Every structure is written in structure tokens, then in C-alpha cells.
A and B are shown apart, each in its own frame.
Chain A
Amino acid sequence: MASPRRAAVVGANRIPFARSNGAYARASNKDMLTAALDGLVARFGLADERVGEVVAGAVLKHSRDFNLTREAVLASRISPWTPTYDVQQACGTGLEAAVLIANKIALGQIESGVAGGVDTTSDAPIAVNEDLREVLLAANRAKSTAGVIKALAGLRPGQIVPEIPANREPGTGMSMGEHAALTAAHWGIERTAQDELTALSHHNLAKAYDAGFFDDLMTPYLGLTKDNNLRADSSVEKLGKLKPVFFPAGADKAEATMTAGNSTPLTDGAATVLLASDEWAAERGLPVLAHLVDAETAAVDYVHGDEGLLMAPAYAVPRMLERNGLTLQDFDFYEIHEAFASTVLATLAAWESPQFCKERLGLDAPLGSIDRAKLNVHGSSLAVGHPFAATGARIVPTLAKILKENGGGRGLISICAAGGQGVVAILEA
């Protein structure tokens, strides 16, 4: 078999990301994903055109949205003859969708595809109380009127309280922030370093907007023309005034470092990225931004083991580097998803640690440090916001365009995800 071809990143479209219960409070996942797809269709003239596949997903999903991507495609201007499927890998969804599309392109199974992700924490799926659900299901199973009445006799006033999705790990009962706080404490990540990374993210994003970087990556939606979490005037001083909100279990509260500023806010939004074979792009005269070279996933045991919830990328990256004969320093740009500022810093600290690299990764020498000037150069999730499933589909085209504007180069993407997972990838231009 001939060696597989590399899938090209052709372009993208996303809607501006909005802080929860704000500009998109009344928009559904389907609305936002459809809007993102329609903008992509317009940018690349895909109206009524059938692409190979559209693959997307959402983390917070209503049960009626089992075919979310398909429903969005049917509502969009893309050809209704385009097949789709949904994926869900928590915050890794968007990147995983891109990898799935790229792999099919690489194998020649499809010539083009759209990867995407969407999430809303505003239009969240609220489920009925678990006790109430059991009563209703029992009533449904009953074969006689008497049986139904008997089952319904189990109804209690307290069952009116609904089940609301929470940002909480089912395995530990701890929130993601609490997990991250543990990791930050373990690696001794200081408050100031977190606030510095946060302020830089805002400044970098603001500069990118001013330069028109997102003009061909984004389409306004519901009156929003920019991510509304962006604080162009953010500073270490201002961030320093915020009180910590996440406390590491069992530690002194005074040592807490993670605030609403250096953690990503709950966000609504959708992103899509167009991938294709070089031939498909050339036939349409579309320039290629970059190619997806390789990807790797990893998972850590944060429940029974002693690894941090969001540390999986620290394991995925070295495995991918080895397969490609690369070192951590062989990249021109790094896109490390800013779930929390401390997550980025803990991941970098792990790669610099001889002990971690030897004991956890089995390496003779640490991966070493990176040139921080190459990290998240146009801002990342701390400034942009983080609609869970959309983030990967935001980062892939952002890095691809950075590489294209650089006149070529290699970039690393690292995204941590709930459930102790991580998705990483290499782009080259």
C-alpha cells in the first residue's frame, strides 16, 4: 500500500465565542453549528455542494440532538446529500473530529470534509430528577391501570428538582477546576505566572483582531463580531485583584492560585474547519494553509492513579514526537489549549522535569523547555473562551494560518480533555 497522503487544512469558519448566558443565551447547539457551517459554505462557495463528510459534536447535548451534526447540515446551505456523524471526546472533540476527517482523506476514502464542534452552557440539557425518571419509567412499564397508579404513587414533591449538568468528574465528584488546582499545587505553579500567561493571551488575541487575522476565519453571529470574553486591557495587576475560586482539596486555602481570570469561563460557540486532499483544493483553486501530519491521543488514570486530570497531553506529545523523530524544540509554533493557565504551565513544567520524564514517560532526558514566544501567539482559550467541543476546530485553522503567514513551518497542538484524556497533533506548512 502506498503511504497515505496528508490531509490539507483549507480554511475555516467559526462564530465569535460568547460567555455563557450572554449573547447566545437563546441559541441552540444546532443553531450555532448551522451558522458556523453556513459561513464556511459562503467563504468557500460550497452552497449545494456535497463534501465527503461533516463530523462534529457537542459535549453538552440534548437527547433529541442525537444526530446533531446531521440536523445542522440539513439546516445549512451545504448539500443535504452530505453524510455526517457525531463524535464526543469532551474538550478534545473538535480536534478529534479533524483527525478523523484527515485520516479518511489520507486513506483516500473521502476527498474533502468538515470537522467541527459546538457547545452551549446557556441552552444546557436539563434532565428530570433521577427519582422522578424511575417513577415515570416504572409507570411506562406497568401493564395495567392499577399498575400505573401504583407506580405513580411513588411521586414526591422533591422530585421536581431537575438534574442540571455540572462541570464535575463522575469518577471523583470533583470539579475540573478543583482537579486543576490539585495539579497546580503539585507542580508549584505560582499565581503570578498564571496571571502573566492570561494577560498575554488577551493581549495576543486583541492584536490578532486588530491585524484582521480572523477576517477569514470567523463570521459574526447574533450581533457579536468578536469573542466577548476578550479583555484587551487585561493586565497582571487587574488579574491579581481577583479572588481564587478553585481550592486544591486538603490544602491551605491561602495557597489557592486559580481565579475566574486565569481559568476559562463557560462559553457558547461553534467552529468548523475545512479539510481536503491537495487535489480537491487545487481543482477549486483554493490555497492550502497547512497539512495535518500526525495525531496522538492519551489518557491518564486520575481516579485511581496519581496523575492530574488534565495531564494526558504530557503523555501524548512525547509518543507522537518519537514516532515522527522530532524533539519538543522542533516546532515554530505551539498551540496549547488554555483550559486553565495552570494547565499550560503544569504541562510545560512536566516536560522540563527530569523526574517526570524519566519516571512517567520513561525517557532518559527531559523533553526540555520551549521558546515561550512561540506559544499561543494569537491568544488561546483564556481570552477566546472555550465552548468545549469547538475549541479544537478553532485551534487547527488558527495554527494552520499562522504557519501559512509564517511562510511555512511546523506547529504543535495540545488539548486536554475531561475524563483524563488528551488529543495532540502536528501541522506543517
Chain B
Amino acid sequence: MSHDWYSDFVNSGVGKTIAGNVGLPPVPILRRWEPGQPLLSGPALLGTATANGRVAKIVRAVLAEAGVEVHEDPNAPVGGGSSTSKVAAAIVDATGLSSPADLAAIQGFLTPCMKRVGASGRVLVIGDVPAEAERPAVRAARRALEGLVRSAAKEARYGATVNLIHVADGAENDIESTLRFFLSSRSAFVDGQRLDVGVVPGYAGSSAGTDWDRPIAGKVAVVTGAARGIGRTVATTLARDGATVVCVDIPASGDALARTANDVGGTALQLDITGDGAGAAILSHAERHGGIDIVVHNAGITRDKLLANQDTDRWNSVIDVNLNAQLAINDVLMGSSDDTGFHRGGRIVTVSSMAGIAGNRGQTSYASSKAGVIGLVDATAPLLTAKDATINAVAPGFIETDMTAAMPVGTREAGRRLSSLTQGGLPVDVAETIAWFAQGASYAVNGQVLRVDGQNFLGA
């Protein structure tokens, strides 16, 4: 990883003064999760847009269980302080809107909140799914929230994030894991994003009894590309959250893979995922663990070339590893036994990319594969409901890895600063999102693609 010297400078004593005087953009230090950390570091403000809101109740219940001090008045004195004291989160139940006129109530609540949300604070807007509305006025009001959230995210300071959750009709009691993810520091680098809960019908599951410090305790996870980089961190994070991890990578990376497996107390499987029978080999290896609960398709390669200079072998190698291998393995998983193969209630998480959404110069093959991943998720999500399983994708933005460290300085600095959080994310930010998708409690989150990019300005 390349060190962020600029961040060090503007966060140092003298650097902070100079940066403030000459108007250099600050780089907030993001709060990140560790076991035992409370859901929120302080009080929360909870507003409701209309009398018809249907999620405030569950939000209140989750906050109460987490021991969070909650106020409904955005100007309420909190924590024994004043009406301007900092809060850790501001949450709006924006469900039940009947026309754009209802948006003013949300503005009225959030305006004082924006000055009160502290460092690494959370602003969470929870609305209805626009596509479920038939009347134009209703749909317009629902859709308006996205513009509000994406803009507010660009205004939020000190590492605070602003995100939007759409809750499908009838899914209001199925949002606990999502609420906890977006409120906690697990979502440190997720900013200005929208996520839909319960939009793929036919889901089943429960979050009852979840140990939120070890939400995947006892589960068996397979992580491809686990030898190094983001994959290694995914393996570490899943193990931290309680899973036994089968670490997969190509045989040539076997020594680094062995280190990952031994560090997480898992097992190493040296496997070329593009080979025939890769899915069967994964199932066969996992038999010793009694089957598979979680599969993370993290393995990916880049063979960057301008399209004008592209050749078919390089192109195919990217499509094979990043897309075809996932399709083939998913087919094997879906056809496997509920008991000894891919378990009922299993989770597939795959890795797309900001490049797959926004495109990137020199990355026609990579971006094609990563956009293809989104199509794969869209089409696979409804198929998995037969197994009570889900599939989702994370789309990382600029993440500090060996790959980005090798970039030219200018490109790297642009990648870091051209985002609302003005920094690159860490591999653990991607891993936390994957770990949340992987939770049994995330049963209503299916077919989603979530960007973990600090609201990067590319393709936003």
C-alpha cells in the first residue's frame, strides 16, 4: 500500500493550521469497526416525514437494544449538553410520502441535523421503493430522496456519511442487519449510496438471535483470491466475524495463500477457478467442513490495454477469471445438496467495481467483466430464493492496495481526493460490506450492488 502523506500532513498540528488557512481539503480520519464497539458512539436523532411512516418503530427498537439515546426533535439537547451538541446519527423515516410536498418535513428535520452530526457520523434516510408507486406524485417524491441523499453526502463533513435505504412494501421488519451496517462504522467508506431491502420477492430468514459481534459464527465461507490484497482481508474479516474460511487462490500463489489460511485458522485450497471442475473441487474440499454457507467471488485480474491495442487472448483471460468462472461455480453451487453442498440460506457475494459502473480508460475488458458481474447478480438473485439464498455485489472504488500503489502519483491522488471522503478506502472497507452481505440476518438483501467508494465522483 502507498502511504497517504497528504492525509498525514493535513491531520498534523501544523498541517491542520496551514490547510485551514490556504483552503486545502481536509482528510477525515474514519472510525472503523472492531469487535465490541457500540453501534453508535453517541446519541441519535430520529425523525419521521409523515404520520404513515412504517420503519420508525423498528429503528427505535434496534437503537433501544443497542442502548442508544434517541431524540425526535432535531434541536433537542442531547447527552446532557445543549441543542447544538454533536450526535452520532440522524435517521429519517421517509416512508409514506404522498407527494413532493412531504419532502419539506425531511428538509426541516435534516437541516439542523447536518450541523450536529459529528465525526464519522451517520445520516440515514429510509424510504419506500419508487418502482412500487403507481401515482406519479408518489413516485416522484420517493425518487427525490436519492437526489437529496447524494447531495447531502457531498456536503457532510468530518467523515460523516449520508445513505439511503429503500424498504420494499412489507419488508419493514427485515431491515435490522442493514440498519446496523449503515449506522455502524462497518460502513465507514460507504457514502452517498442507495440500497434496496426486500425488493426480490420470496426471501426468507430471520435475524433473531444474531450475535452482532460475531454475526456469522459457525458458518463456512469460501473466499477466492484469498492469497493477498482485498481477498486476504475478506478472509480475515469473515474469520473475525466467526466463520471458518476456505481460502482459494491459484496454485502459483500457494505460499501466500497458506499464510492467509494459517492466519485465519482456515484451510487453503490451491485451485485455478477457471478450470473444469473448479466448482466441484470447492464443494469436495468443503465437505470436511460440512458444506458451504458463504461464497465470496473475489478473485479477479486486470490485463489493461486500450481497446485499440487489445488482443483476444488477454481479453478472454479477464472475462474467464472475472466472469465465466463465477457463472460456472454458481451453477454448481445452485445444483448442490442443501446438506453437504451449498447450504439452504447460503450467501454469494461477488466483487464488481466502480470501473464496471463508470468505465475506465484502458479497462474495456476489466470494466466489461465487472459490469457483467452486475448482470449476473440481477439474474441470479431470483433464482436463489428457491434455496433461501442471496447474491449481492460490492463495487469498490479507489481502495488502497498494491495495485493502486503502483499507479502514477497523479492518478493515485486524483483517485483519492475526487471523492466525498477525500481519501482512498481500505481493503477492510470492502471486506466489511461483504461480511454484512454474508450475514444470515441479511436475508432480505438480495440482488444488490453497493459501491464502497467514499462517494467517488466517477460514475456517481
By a beta-carbon cutoff of 8 Å, the part of chain A in contact with chain B is 35, 38-39, 41-45, 47-48, 77, 212, 214-216, 218-221, 225, 284-287
Chain A residues with CB under 8 Å of B262's CB are: 38, 41-42, 47, 77
Could you say which of A42, A214, A220 has the most chain B C-beta atoms within 10 Å of its C-beta? A42
Q: Are A219 and B255 in contact (CB under 8 A)?
A: yes
Q: Are B268 and A225 in contact (CB under 8 A)?
A: no
Q: How far is the CA of A219 from the CA of B266 in the complex (A)?
A: 16
Task: Give the segment of B16-24, B53-61, B269-277, B299-307 that binds chain A.
Answer: B269-277
Chain A residues with CB under 8 Å of B267's CB are: 42-45
Instruction: Give chain B nearest CB distance to A77 CB in angstroms.
Output: 4
Q: Are A220 and B252 in contact (CB under 8 A)?
A: yes
- From A77, A215, A225, A286, contact of B271 by CB (8 A): A215
Shortest beta-carbon contacts, A-B, top 3: A285-B288, A42-B258, A42-B268
Chain B residues with CB under 8 Å of A216's CB are: 269-270
Q: How far is the CA of A218 from the CA of B255 in the complex (A)?
A: 9
Instruction: Give chain B nearest CB distance to A220 CB in angstroms.
Output: 5
Instruction: Give chain A nearest CB distance to B168 CB in angstroms.
Output: 39
Could you say which of B252, B258, B271, B288 has the most chain A C-beta atoms within 10 Å of its C-beta? B258
- Can you pick out 20 interface pairs between chain A and chain B where the beta carbons lie within 8 Å of each other? A38-B259, A39-B268, A41-B262, A42-B247, A42-B261, A42-B267, A43-B261, A43-B269, A45-B265, A47-B261, A47-B262, A212-B275, A214-B251, A216-B270, A219-B255, A219-B268, A221-B255, A225-B251, A225-B252, A285-B288
* Contact of A220 with B265 at beta-carbon distance under 8 Å, contacts A38-B258, A285-B290 already known: no
Q: Which residue of A lies closest to B288 (CB)?
A: A285
Q: Are A45 and B266 in contact (CB under 8 A)?
A: yes
Q: How far is the CA of A284 from the CA of B252 in the complex (A)?
A: 27
Q: Are B255 and A35 in contact (CB under 8 A)?
A: yes
Q: Are B257 and A42 in contact (CB under 8 A)?
A: yes
Q: How far is the CA of A75 from the CA of B460 in the complex (A)?
A: 49
Q: Are A285 and B287 in contact (CB under 8 A)?
A: yes
* Contact of A219 with B258 at beta-carbon distance under 8 Å, contacts A212-B251, A225-B251, A285-B289 already known: yes
Chain B residues with CB under 8 Å of A287's CB are: 287
Chain B residues with CB under 8 Å of A286's CB are: 288
Q: Which residue of B lies closest to A13 (CB)?
A: B258
Chain A residues with CB under 8 Å of B257's CB are: 42, 219
Chain B residues with CB under 8 Å of A41's CB are: 258, 262
- From B244, B255, B287, B288, contact of A220 by CB (8 A): B255
Is B368 positioned at the interface, with any CB of A under 8 Å from its CB? no
Is B427 positioned at the interface, with any CB of A under 8 Å from its CB? no
Is B254 positioned at the interface, with any CB of A under 8 Å from its CB? yes
Is B360 positioned at the interface, with any CB of A under 8 Å from its CB? no
Is B324 positioned at the interface, with any CB of A under 8 Å from its CB? no
Q: Which residue of B lies closest to A45 (CB)?
A: B267
Q: How far is the CA of A220 from the CA of B227 in the complex (A)?
A: 12
Chain B residues with CB under 8 Å of A44's CB are: 267
Q: How far is the CA of A45 from the CA of B260 in the complex (A)?
A: 11
Interface of A is mostly: loop
Instruction: Give chain A nearest CB distance to B220 CB in angstroms.
Output: 11
Q: How far is the CA of A286 from the CA of B289 in the complex (A)?
A: 9
Is B253 positioned at the interface, with any CB of A under 8 Å from its CB? yes
Instruction: Give chain A nearest CB distance to B221 CB in angstroms.
Output: 13
Q: Which residue of A lies closest to B284 (CB)?
A: A287
Q: How far is the CA of A220 from the CA of B255 in the complex (A)?
A: 5
* Contact of A284 with B288 at beta-carbon distance under 8 Å, contacts A45-B266, A47-B262, A212-B272 already known: yes
Q: How far is the CA of A285 from the CA of B270 in the complex (A)?
A: 18
Q: How far is the CA of A220 from the CA of B249 in the complex (A)?
A: 12
Q: How far is the CA of A219 from the CA of B251 in the complex (A)?
A: 7
Q: How far is the CA of A97 from the CA of B254 in the complex (A)?
A: 26
Q: Which residue of B lies closest to A76 (CB)?
A: B262
Q: Which residue of A lies closest to B265 (CB)?
A: A47
Chain A residues with CB under 8 Å of B271's CB are: 215
* Contact of A220 with B251 at beta-carbon distance under 8 Å, contacts A212-B272, A286-B288 already known: yes
Q: How far is the CA of A357 from the CA of B252 in the complex (A)?
A: 47
Instruction: Give chain B nearest CB distance to A382 CB in angstroms.
Output: 23
Q: How far is the CA of A35 from the CA of B258 in the complex (A)?
A: 10
Q: Which residue of A lies closest to B285 (CB)?
A: A216
Q: Which residue of A lies closest to B277 (CB)?
A: A212
Chain B residues with CB under 8 Å of A35's CB are: 255
Q: Are B254 and A218 in contact (CB under 8 A)?
A: yes
Chain A residues with CB under 8 Å of B288's CB are: 45, 284-286
Chain A residues with CB under 8 Å of B254's CB are: 39, 218-220, 225
Chain A residues with CB under 8 Å of B275's CB are: 212
Q: How far is the CA of A218 from the CA of B257 in the complex (A)?
A: 12
Extra pairs beyond A42-B258, A219-B257 (8, CB < 8 Å): A41-B258, A41-B262, A43-B269, A47-B261, A47-B265, A216-B269, A220-B254, A287-B287
Interface set, chain B 229-283, CB cutoff 8 A to A: 244, 247, 251-255, 257-259, 261-262, 265-272, 275
Chain A residues with CB under 8 Å of B258's CB are: 38-39, 41-43, 219
Chain A residues with CB under 8 Å of B251's CB are: 212, 214-215, 218, 220, 225
Instruction: Give chain B nearest CB distance to A378 CB in angstroms.
Output: 16
Q: Which residue of B lies closest to A38 (CB)?
A: B258
Q: How far is the CA of A269 from the CA of B251 in the complex (A)?
A: 18
Q: Which residue of A lies closest to B247 (CB)?
A: A42
Q: How far is the CA of A284 from the CA of B288 in the complex (A)?
A: 6
Q: How far is the CA of A101 from the CA of B251 in the complex (A)?
A: 29
Chain B residues with CB under 8 Å of A39's CB are: 254-255, 258, 268
Q: Are B268 and A43 in contact (CB under 8 A)?
A: yes
Q: How far is the CA of A215 from the CA of B265 in the complex (A)?
A: 20
Q: Which residue of A lies closest to B266 (CB)?
A: A45
Q: How far is the CA of A219 from the CA of B261 in the complex (A)?
A: 13
Q: How far is the CA of A225 from the CA of B270 in the complex (A)?
A: 12
Q: Which residue of B lies closest to A15 (CB)?
A: B255
Q: How far is the CA of A42 from the CA of B253 in the complex (A)?
A: 13
Q: How far is the CA of A47 from the CA of B252 in the complex (A)?
A: 22
Q: Are A220 and B253 in contact (CB under 8 A)?
A: yes
Could you say which of B252, B257, B268 has the most chain A C-beta atoms within 10 Å of its C-beta? B268
Chain B residues with CB under 8 Å of A212's CB are: 251, 272, 275
Could you say which of A45, A284, A285 has the most chain B C-beta atoms within 10 Å of its C-beta? A45
Q: How far is the CA of A44 from the CA of B258 in the complex (A)?
A: 10
Q: Which residue of B lies closest to A284 (CB)?
A: B288
Instruction: Give chain A nearest CB distance to B246 CB in angstroms.
Output: 9
Chain A residues with CB under 8 Å of B259's CB are: 38, 42
Q: How far is the CA of A38 from the CA of B255 in the complex (A)?
A: 9
Chain A residues with CB under 8 Å of B268's CB are: 39, 42-43, 219
Q: Which residue of B lies closest to A285 (CB)?
A: B288
Q: How far is the CA of A199 from the CA of B126 in the complex (A)?
A: 70
Instruction: Give chain A nearest CB distance to B4 CB in angstroms.
Output: 31
Chain B residues with CB under 8 Å of A285's CB are: 287-290
Instruction: Give chain B nearest CB distance to A6 CB in angstroms.
Output: 21
Q: How far is the CA of A38 from the CA of B258 in the complex (A)?
A: 7
Instruction: Give chain A nearest CB distance to B305 CB in angstroms.
Output: 26
